[in-house]
Amino acid sequence: MKRVMLSVAYDGTAYSGYQVQENARTIEGELNRCLGDLLKEDIKVIGGSRTDAGVHALCNVAVFDTQARMPGERMSYALNQRLPEDIRIRESREVGAGFHPRRCLSRKTYTYKILNTAFPVPTRRLYSYFTYVPLDVGKMQEAAVHLVGEHDFKSFCSAGSQAESTVRKIECLEVTCEGEEITIQVAGNGFLYNMVRIIAGTLMEAGRGIWEPAYMKEILEARDRRAAGPTAPACGLCLTGYEFL
Amino acid sequence: MKRVMLSVAYDGTAYSGYQVQENARTIEGELNRCLGDLLKEDIKVIGGSRTDAGVHALCNVAVFDTQARMPGERMSYALNQRLPEDIRIRESREVGAGFHPRRCLSRKTYTYKILNTAFPVPTRRLYSYFTYVPLDVGKMQEAAVHLVGEHDFKSFCSAGSQAESTVRKIECLEVTCEGEEITIQVAGNGFLYNMVRIIAGTLMEAGRGIWEPAYMKEILEARDRRAAGPTAPACGLCLTGYEFL
């Protein structure tokens, strides 16, 4: 028996999220199906980040145990032959039997893309959130500063979260602008349910001038989801980094 | 009666090309349908660049005549309400009655994107050509130099072209690299059938080291399609600039 870790990239457009669900197409569901086909075993992967429906990833993680003789390093090639073209394995390798992606200390980076143009660009519609309302990137940057560090992010957590504590540490939160595309990049060791999308929605409110950047402190203090901005749409979000520490 | 010009952006993935065809979904077909609905007239647009199936555009051009009272400038908003989300009108405006996009002198810019990574990236698969074979960008740049200027591009023209002359002038042909993405940008006042995709396919052969950069001169001199490289896949190509001179 060996444990194998996969690094998984996907376009989340056509999926009901990462985590396996009955009667819905999910990334884990596709991995289980293709691994079962390949290894002739009943495989149930243990997932890393449970991205929502429509969210993308460059490097999510899945782990599984198998008795197959095939070396773990070779499985990526064999799996990519079977997977649909919107899911690709970047790497497969054998890991220790005790390795569990959600129990190991990790650092995840999410990137949220906003297209701030006068009209939507069709070739970008699936991978960025479009808004024609002009956003002040300077104000978004000022607002972001208040969220960096360890805070109680209860205001930035959707109902339905199973987290015991809502305290999290954001190591890095940057807002950059290149041409007409605004990128929010956030890194930390753990995020609450919808936290990154609520941060993106809240920073956009600051960018629109609805809230002053310093108001972020009051939102944190409120510890109430209703105090923060809307949950930004899923398509703008991508899991772009996943390291184990 | 007035003539209106549209600037049209689209994701070509789901279309059988720009030009109207019977029994196939095309960009012009969608424009004709939505303009007919909006203006209650039988509209047949005159298209600009006839992009192939799967090719994208940020700014293709369509022109039509109408007796509608609606100002040309307002039509973009009304059309975007009716068009599928993979087609968007950037701008609409009234032009002179004699204006014909393919008969006016214009400068078009095409961009061809190549993703040169070890594995395909699902979120890029529809908008770039993926190859894991390492490409030498320096060699592609050297090869490109030989194609700039006025030449007989018969070797870079697919069968089925109706062009009388195969002499064209490339004003600018640049190969750049950012991270793992290689971009070929080419500008000129006219291109032969599949010319940009054959240039991209040929520059990639130079990038792979199959042909020395100077061999481009021999390909031009051959005046034979078989002398050049393969036609690169449509998905990497986008019409990114269209100016009338």
- C-alpha A149/C-alpha A144 separation (Å) is 11
A48: closest CA among A86, A10, A1, A80?
A10
Task: Quote the distance between the C-alpha of residue B221 and its chain's center.
Answer: 25
Residues 6+ apart with CB under 8 A from B241: B58, B59, B107, B108, B109, B187
Q: What is the pLDDT of residues B210-219, one digit of tens each?
A: 999 999 999 9
B166 touches chain A (CB under 8 A): no
A84: closest CA among A12, A6, A30?
A30
What is the arithmetic mean of pLDDT over B39-64?
96
Does position A162 have pLDDT exceeding 90, yes or no? no
Would you name the residues of B annotated as active-site residues?
A: 52
Smallest CA–CA distance from B12 into chain A, residue: A123
**What was the ipTM of the complex prediction?**
0.90
Provide the mean pLDDT of chain A: 96
Angle between helix A195-207 and A215-222 (nearest 10): 150
B56 touches chain A (CB under 8 A): yes
Q: What is the pLDDT of residue B163?
A: 74
Put simply, the answer to whether B86 touches A122 (Cβ < 8 Å) is yes
Total Cβ atoms within 10 A of residue B47: 22
Percent of chain B's residues with pLDDT above 70: 100
Q: Which of A89, A118, A122 sits opposite B11 (nearest CB)?
A: A122
Count each helix (H run) and each strand (E run) in chain A, helices first.
5, 10
Domain A106-244 class, CATH top level: alpha beta
Does position A130 have pLDDT exceeding 80, yes or no? yes
- Cβ contacts from A onto B, under 8 A: 62
Residue type, A194: N
Domains A2-95 and A106-244 share a fold: yes
Domain A2-95 class, CATH top level: alpha beta
Q: Is pTM beyond 0.90 here?
A: yes
Q: What is the pLDDT of residue B185?
A: 98
B189 touches chain A (CB under 8 A): no
> Model confidence at A166, in pLDDT bands (50, 70, 90)?
very high
Provide the mean pLDDT of chain B: 96
Per-domain residue ranges of chain B: 2-95, 106-244
Q: Is A50 exposed, middle or buried (0-12, 13-18, 19+ CB in 10 A)?
A: middle
Put simply, the answer to whether A9 touches B87 (Cβ < 8 Å) is no
Catalytic residue, from A52, A65, A86, A136: name it: A52
Residue type, B119: F
Q: Which of B56, B88, B125 sits opposite A119 (nearest CB)?
A: B88
